[in-house]
């Protein structure tokens, strides 16, 4: 399954509108797109969306036991908003330990299971996480989880970018190749080429909606 470019841009707008208009499981600060749609490709093989969230420290911890009894999930009211869970109990998701997982809850709310969309969720901004993920990949010599740095910010602190959506529609963003981009971030040319190949191969193996949570 792939998306025609106009369909992909429309889908991104729907995601941003949902973040704007509806209660989210955690506060959201940034929404970015990166990869195929930012590069102007048509069709878009996978739509990559990056969300920067705030870590929820105090919400309604006194309700955690209530949700544990009713839904079998720990941490509602602590790691995800209780008010959101009241409105959208069908989107409550847990990690392997049974605790409410903000990234999975966001994915359940924002994405359809069968669409070719990947959601990255982190407490750090897109640009900061690009650097951190690259640093970690180089240390481990494992490039699959490198974050493609070729991205565009669509929504920041409650405000839409005044021109980013139009630039997406008109294919006005100009980016170098992934290998060149990684070289500009400090990789030597050979390593950057290997890393770019690993990222492309990993993405080609993904199907349907996927999500990855990260804490920096």
Q: Which two tokens stand for residue 166?
A: 């139009």
Average pLDDT, the chain: 94
- Please state the domain extents for the chain: 5-55+112-214
The answer to whether 48 and 64 are in contact (CB under 8 A) is no
Torsion of CA 197, 138, 178, 146, to 10 degrees: 80
pLDDT at 56: 84
- What integer is the mean pLDDT of 167-188? 94
Q: Cβ of 166: how many Cβ atoms within 10 Å? A: 11
Percent of the chain with pLDDT over 90: 89
Say whether pLDDT at 145 is over 80: yes
Q: Which two tokens stand for residue 145?
A: 């989880």
pTM of the model: 0.95
Q: Mapping DSSP to helix (H, G, I), strand (E, B) and coil, where does residue 212 land?
A: strand
Torsion of CA 186, 188, 190, 192, to 10 degrees: 0
Of the pLDDT bands very low, low, confident and very high (cuts 50, 70, 90), residue 215 is: confident
Least confident of 58-62, 118-122, 169-173: 58-62
pLDDT at 38: 95
The answer to whether 175 and 48 are in contact (CB under 8 A) is no
d(CA 140, CA 132): 12
**Cα atoms found within 13 Å of the Cα of residue 120, Cβ hemisphere only:** 30
Q: Mapping DSSP to helix (H, G, I), strand (E, B) and coil, where does residue 119 land?
A: strand
**Tens-place pLDDT, residues 23-67:** 999 999 999 999 999 999 999 999 999 999 998 877 998 999 999
Least confident of 25-29, 58-62, 122-126, 164-168: 58-62
Say whether pLDDT at 95 is over 80: yes
pLDDT at 195: 95
H/E element, 190: helix 189-204
pLDDT at 57: 78
């Amino acid at each position: 399954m792939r998306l025609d470019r106009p369909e992909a841009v429309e889908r991104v707008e729907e995601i941003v509108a949902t973040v704007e208009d509806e209660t989210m499981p955690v506060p959201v600060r940034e929404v970015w797109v990166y990869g195929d749609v930012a590069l102007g490709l048509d069709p878009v093989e996978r739509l990559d969306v990056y969300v920067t969230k705030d870590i929820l420290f105090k919400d309604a911890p006194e309700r955690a036991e209530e949700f544990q009894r009713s839904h079998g999930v720990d941490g509602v009211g602590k790691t995800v908003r209780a008010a959101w869970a009241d409105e959208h109990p069908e989107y409550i998701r847990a990690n392997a330990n049974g605790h409410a997982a903000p990234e999975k809850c966001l994915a359940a709310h924002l994405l359809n299971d069968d669409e070719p969309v990947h959601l990255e969720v982190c407490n750090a901004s897109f640009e900061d996480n690009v650097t951190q993920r690259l640093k970690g990949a180089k240390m481990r010599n494992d490039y699959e989880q490198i974050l493609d740095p070729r991205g565009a910010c669509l929504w920041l602190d409650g405000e839409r970018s005044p021109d980013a959506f139009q630039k997406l529609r008109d294919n006005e963003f100009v980016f170098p190749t992934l290998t060149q981009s990684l070289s500009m971030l400090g990789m030597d040319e050979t390593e950057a080429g290997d890393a770019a190949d690993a990222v492309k191969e990993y993405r080609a193996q993904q199907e349907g909606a996927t999500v990855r949570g990260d804490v920096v």
